[in-house]
Amino acid sequence: MASKAMASNTVASKTLPSQTLPGGALRNIVPPIVLALVLILCWQGLHLATASGAISSPAATLARLVVLMGSSRFWLDVAETGTAFLWALALSIVLGIGLGVVLAWLRPVGEVMEPILVTFYSLPKVTLYPLVLLIFGLGMPAKVAFGIMHGLVPITLLTRNAISQLKPVYLRTAKVMRLSAFEAVRSVVLPAIIPELVAGIRIGFSLSLLGVLIGEMFASKRGLGFTAVNAMGLGDLDTIMAIGLFLALFAVLANGGLLSLERAIRHRSAGR
Amino acid sequence: MTVLAMASRDAPKAAVEPPAASLRGVTRHYRFPGGGKTLHALGPIDLDLRQGEFFSVVGPSGCGKSTLLDVLAGLNPPSEGTASFEGKPIAGVPDGIGVVFQEDASFPWLTVEANVAFGLKRAGIGQAEIERRVDYAVGFMGLRDFRQSYPAQLSGGMRQRVCIARTLVLQPRLILLDEPFGALDQQTRLIMGDELLRLWRETRATVLLITHSLDEAAMLADRVGVMSARPGLFIDVIETGWSKDRDSRIVADPRFGEMTGRIWEKLRAETMKHMQTQGAGPR
């Protein structure tokens, strides 16, 4: 699924400049459609090549998804996962940016903390899930915490990195204008790194979602992750594939939106 | 030539006025990270900037010109000695000092207009007054047609104008410029020099300009301070004697050639000294 999302990004980035050319609309629409068709054909090919039923066919997956989307249980799961995900993402962004600013500002602290954060991040966080459950108990807070454990670190590191790469003359200008540290962060540092922040949020987005879903798989009675793992136990491959397809479509759309936002901001302030 | 009238009649009067800024025995040492070694970058320097004068500093690269500016701007304290602005010791950036840096410091996320208004908004000045001052500065620097543009859409020279306008609106009494035209081509530099002179006459601010261009120093300044190779010291301060309403056309005057010749004579030995200390071997 991840490779699918990445492939469609590359196509989108290649077709962007052609918008101004005549027939641009056509050129923008055709490649993604061709790509989608190729991916569906590959999927069908895999379905035929693998042992019976190991990979559901596109048609069966879609049919299952339509059935799922007709049930109220499915939408309760979506709401449950969505709520946990939005909380995890919002907190990852706020805490990640805040922590990134602090680590960039207190340079020695940042230098000590960076390898620690990277090491923490390379741990499979599932191994820490029992700890999270002991602290937060079963339910929403544990899922949100697990989402944050995935989303926070990349946003923190990208924010810190963006600030440390900031042109020093911006900070000198802020000083000469006699801005307080808070004012300097609010009106110079954060606006200056907005393109990098959006990129960080884009990555944090995927990882928070991943964290929440994993959380649901291991200790939850509701949500898409729980339903998927439940279907796994029952050998219901169509449902697993249908949920995967639903999540992939959501991720591709959200990622595309954030990517075009990032590009719009970069385009405006290009030539820095 | 009328442009080259004799030394300004204000000069003796200016001498009795208290200086706009002064440095007494100012030095600056840098400590290398992780070792006891220090680098003696500047001084000791004694300097009085006269009220309303245009003072240029020239010197070989690495002689501490920018360090000198940092001390005056309150960005770095002197290691020894005292620096004062309008009679008060400089601790932190004083009110009334404006700085224009060599690098492009315009904010790419703001329009030209918002860039110029940036400092005013933070100084808590009323909206009507902000608009009046921004209007004036944008017009003065020839940016009227670009008010809504972003810096990325402007040339290097225009971006530097934005930075000057942003400083100008704050109505500084001392303007410090750190090689502000260093990245511009020769013709643009001459034009920007004229604009700087116009700005100086209009605002009556004291101006300190750091430059590595002899022509720029000789053309713009009332006095040119020539600095030695590191540790930077003033080896001479030359009065140019230009009239207050000079402009870039003085480059055609024979006395301009004489002036740059005099400055270069002082500077030549220092520049060679600097090249020798940098080592001739490839690295």
Residues A106 and A234 reside in one and the same domain? yes
Does A268 touch chain B if contact means CB atoms closer than 8 Å?
A: yes
pLDDT at A63: 92
Residues B193 and B129 reside in one and the same domain? no
Domains identified in chain A, total number: 2
Look-up: residue for tokens 């309760």? A76
What Rg do the C-alpha atoms of chain B give, in angstroms? 19
Residues B126 and B203 reside in one and the same domain? no
> Could you give the angle at the alpha carbon of A131 between the alpha carbons of A128 and A133, nearest 5°?
110
Query: Could you tell me the two tokens for B241?
Result: 């004697």
Residue of chain B whose alpha carbon sits nearest to that of A183: B122
How far off is chain B from A79, nearest CA to CA, in Å? Answer: 37
Residues A185 and A254 reside in one and the same domain? yes
Give residue A260's pLDDT band: very low, low, confident or very high (50, 70, 90): confident
pLDDT at A1: 40
Does A184 touch chain B if contact means CB atoms closer than 8 Å?
A: no
Q: List helix spans (H) across chain B.
A: 11-16, 65-73, 112-122, 127-140, 156-168, 186-203, 214-220, 254-277
Residue of chain B whose alpha carbon sits nearest to that of A176: B93
CB nearest to A179's CB, from B98, B105, B122: B122
Query: Could you tell me the two tokens for A190?
Result: 């954060």
Helix (H, G, I), strand (E, B) or coil at B239: strand
pLDDT surpassing 50 at residue B3: no
Query: Could you tell me the two tokens for B251?
Result: 């480059």
Comparing CA positions, the residue from B222, B216, B258, B218 lying closest to residue B243 is B222
Residues B159 and B214 reside in one and the same domain? no
Q: What is the residue type of B118? A: F
Does A240 touch chain B if contact means CB atoms closer than 8 Å?
A: no
Helix (H, G, I), strand (E, B) or coil at A207: helix
Q: What percent of chain A has pLDDT over 70?
A: 88
Q: Are strands B80-85 and B88-89 parallel, antiparallel or unpaired?
A: antiparallel
In a domain, A16, yes or no: no
In a domain, B46, yes or no: no
How far off is chain B from A109, nearest CA to CA, in Å? Answer: 17
**Among the three residues B171, B191, B213, which one is the final residue of a domain in this structure?**
B171
Could you list the residue range(s) of the whole structural domain that residue B134 is in?
Answer: 104-171
Q: Which residues on chain A are in Cβ contact (under 8 Å) with B162?
A: none
Distance CA A45, CA A241 (A): 16
Residues B196 and B59 reside in one and the same domain? yes
Residues A35 and A135 reside in one and the same domain? no
**Among the three residues B148, B171, B194, which one is the final residue of a domain in this structure?**
B171
Residues A240 and A181 reside in one and the same domain? yes
Q: What percent of chain A has pLDDT over 90?
A: 53
Does A52 touch chain B if contact means CB atoms closer than 8 Å?
A: no
In a domain, A38, yes or no: yes
Q: Identify residues of B whose CB sits under 8 angstroms from chain A CBs.
A: 73, 75, 92-93, 95, 97-99, 101, 103-105, 107-110, 118-119, 122, 150-152, 170
Give residue B72's pLDDT band: very low, low, confident or very high (50, 70, 90): very high
How far off is chain A from B120, nearest CA to CA, in Å? Answer: 9
In a domain, A63, yes or no: no
Residues B213 and B135 reside in one and the same domain? no
User: What is the ipTM score, two decimals?
Assistant: 0.84
- As a whole number, mean pLDDT of residues B170-184 equals 89
Comparing CA positions, the residue from A229, A228, A230, A257 lying closest to residue A245 is A228
- Classify each residue of A194-222 as buried b or exposed e, where b means 16 or more C-beta atoms within 10 Å of its C-beta: bbbbbbbbbbbbbbbbbbbbbbbbbbbeb
Note the pLDDT tens digit of each residue in A193-233.
998 899 899 999 999 999 999 989 887 888 999 999 999 88
* Cβ contact B132:B153 at 8 Å: no
Distance CA B139, CA B145 (A): 9
Sheet holding B223-227, edge to edge: B97-100, B174-178, B206-210, B54-58, B223-227, B234-239
Residues 6+ apart with CB under 8 A from A110: A103, A104, A160, A164
What Rg do the C-alpha atoms of chain A give, in angstroms? 22
Note the pLDDT tens digit of each residue in B222-259.
999 998 887 888 888 988 888 888 888 888 888 888 88
Structural element, H or E, at residue B227: strand B223-227
How far off is chain A from B105, nearest CA to CA, in Å? Answer: 6
pLDDT at B62: 77
Could you list the residue range(s) of the whole structural domain that residue A242 is in?
Answer: 71-268
pLDDT at B267: 85
Domains identified in chain B, total number: 2
First-last CA distance in chain A: 35
In a domain, A22, yes or no: no
In a domain, A205, yes or no: yes
Residues B190 and B264 reside in one and the same domain? yes
In a domain, B64, yes or no: yes
Residues A151 and A195 reside in one and the same domain? yes
Handedness of CA A8, A9, A11, A17 (dihedral sign): positive
Residues A40 and A84 reside in one and the same domain? no
In a domain, A65, yes or no: no
What are the φ and ψ backbone dihedral angles of B103, each rounded to 5 degrees? -75, 155
Give residue B100's pLDDT band: very low, low, confident or very high (50, 70, 90): very high
Distance CA A216, CA A226 (A): 5
* Interchain contact, B105 vs A188, CB within 8 Å: no
Distance CA A38, CA A36 (A): 5
pLDDT at B40: 84
CB nearest to A269's CB, from B95, B98, B109: B109
pLDDT at A269: 62
Residues B110 and B208 reside in one and the same domain? no
pLDDT at B8: 43
CATH number at residue B85: 3.40.50.300
Residues A207 and A130 reside in one and the same domain? yes
Residues A182 and A85 reside in one and the same domain? yes
Handedness of CA A86, A87, A91, A94 (dihedral sign): positive
Residues B204 and B158 reside in one and the same domain? no
Q: What percent of chain B has pLDDT over 90?
A: 33
Does A270 touch chain B if contact means CB atoms closer than 8 Å?
A: yes
* Cβ contact A155:A103 at 8 Å: no
CB nearest to B93's CB, from A178, A191, A269: A178
**Among the three residues B156, B171, B186, which one is the final residue of a domain in this structure?**
B171
In a domain, A112, yes or no: yes
* Interchain contact, B101 vs A268, CB within 8 Å: no
In a domain, A54, yes or no: no
